[in-house]
Copies of this chain bind each other. A is one copy, B any other.
Amino acid sequence: MKVVKNEIRINTKGEIDIVDITRMVEDIVRDSGIKNGVATIFIPGATGAITTIEFEPNLIQDFKDILEKLVPKTGHYRHPINGHSHLRASILGPSLSVPIVGGTLTLGTWQQIVFVELDVRPRSRRLIVQVIGE
């Protein structure tokens, strides 16, 4: 059993940028040498989120639209400028845990891991990938 920590660094395009990070997480898992365990992907920051989605352009646009419908950018928020970014992030969540079996992530065929940039401006993001297992 061991813990292997790694990072993903990406530059996002601002609101709303949805970045497929599956390949980067898979590379980290392979490099860790861990065959069975769990990968925890975490965004240190309160205006981004991690989830999974089928990374298909139409659906990605639908996802942006539903976030706008549920937590409108034009709503009235006490927190200035990017209140809606924070709320969207807190609802989606900053963390994702994916099992590793036989050295690979147990994702579905049409399921990708994405970082969701919710802040109103482009950001340089550092994501933590913590791999625990044997």
Contact = CB atoms under 8 A, between A and B. Distances in A.
A21 interface: no
17 contacts: A2-B134, A3-B134, A36-B130, A37-B130, A42-B97, A42-B106, A45-B110, A46-B108, A56-B79, A59-B77, A59-B78, A59-B83, A62-B79, A62-B86, A95-B96, A95-B98, A99-B130
Given A62-B83, A86-B62, A95-B98, A3 B36 contact: yes
A125 to B, nearest CB: 10
Interface string A41-75: 01111100001111010110111001000110000
Interface in A80-133: 80, 83, 86-87, 89-101, 106-108, 110-111, 128, 130, 132-133
Given A3-B134, A51-B93, A128-B101, A87 B66 contact: yes
Nearest to A129: B99
Contact of A1 (B2, B71, B97): B2
A38 interface: yes
A39 to B, nearest CB: 10
A52 B101 CA distance: 24
